[in-house]
Structures are given as structure tokens and as C-alpha cells.
Amino acid sequence: MTFLEDLLNDLPELVGRMRHHDVRHVSLKNGTGALALTLSENAGQTPPAHPVAPPAKAENTPVPSPEMGVFRSNGLGENHPVRSGEIVGFVEAGPLRLPVTATADGTLGPALIGDGCVVGYHDVLFRIHPDG
């Protein structure tokens, strides 16, 4: 059996592997022959049941106050990179000093409330911009 005949026999498997790995072009060559294979963009794919929404635009994540109280900054400025769970400020609620923690990884936006100002329960104190 020639190289080309072998390839044609294996073509279904080859195409399957190409699709699986998202490969659209293959070129093969040896002394007896050559093969160039190009898959169409949507060939063989099942159309989606519902129109697919365009990729969601990354949104800012709000950082709420844990309690009603007085906001205390911990000095983190705008554009400071933060990790989810990192303390980005405090709220004094009576005798308690409660941490305000980042709700996502990203870059901290400006404080939406001044240091020492009264904040309500779950008022948004910052927004975190996603990285990238």
C-alpha cells in the first residue's frame, strides 16, 4: 500500500484528531507523494441550540461594606492590584473593626466613600477591575 493510500484510509481518524485539537491545516509529504488538508471553519460542528452570546465583557466587581458603620481606609490607592479575600479597608461597627475584603482578583478602583464617612449595610465601597 502506498503512503497516499495509507493516509486516505486513516483520513477519518486524522480529521477527528484535527478537530479535537482545533487544527485546521495539515501538510504531509514524502518521496512518493504529498497531501495538504484544510478543514472548513464550521464543518461537522453541531449548530448551537441557542444563539451563543458574545463573550461577556469583563465587569467590575463591587466590594460591599460588611456592616453599617464608619469606613476606615487602609491606605490602598487606586489601581492597586488585589487578590480575592485581601483586606482593602475596614468598617467600624460599634466596638468592632470589621475587615473589608476584595471580592475578586484584579485592580482596585477608587474608594467610593471617604475615610471616616458613614456607610450603610452592604453599601458598595470599591469596584475591582479584572486584570487583562
Partner 1 sequence: MREPAVSVPRRVLIANRGEIALRITRACRLLGLHSIGIHSEADASLAHLRLVDETLCIGPAAASGSYLDAARVLRAAELTNADIIHPGYGFLSENADFAEAVEQSGRTLAGPTAAIMRLMGDKISAKQQMRRSGVPCLPGTEDALPTDLSEAQTICDAIGYPLIVKAAGGGGGRGMRVVMTAADLRDAIETAREEAGRAFGNPSVYAERFLQHPRHIEIQVLADRQGNAVWLGARDCSIQRRHQKLVEEAPATGINPQAIAELGERCANACTLMGYTGAGTFEFLYEDGAFSFIEMNTRLQVEHPVTEMTTGIDIVREQLLIAMGQPLSFTQADIRTQGHAIECRINAEDPETFRPAPGKVLNWRAPGGPGVRIDTHLYDGYVVPPNYDSLIAKLIVHGTDRTDALNRMHAALSEMQITGIATTTPLHLRLMNEPGVREGSVSVHYLEALMRKSGS
Report the amino acid identity of residue 37: L
Per CB under 8 A, does 69 bind partner 1? yes
Residue from 2, 118, 130, 131 binding partner 1 (CB under 8 A) = 118
Per CB under 8 A, does 15 bind partner 1? no
The cell numbers describing 101, all together, are: 475584603
The cell numbers describing 36, all together, are: 495538504
d(CA 127, CA 113): 12
Least CB distance from residue 120 to partner 1, whole Å? 3
Per CB under 8 A, does 120 bind partner 1? yes
Q: Which residue has the cell 460542528?
A: 45
Per CB under 8 A, does 68 bind partner 1? yes
Give the residues across from 96 on adjacent strands. Answer: 93
Residues interacting with partner 1, by CB under 8 A? 68-70, 93-94, 118, 120-123
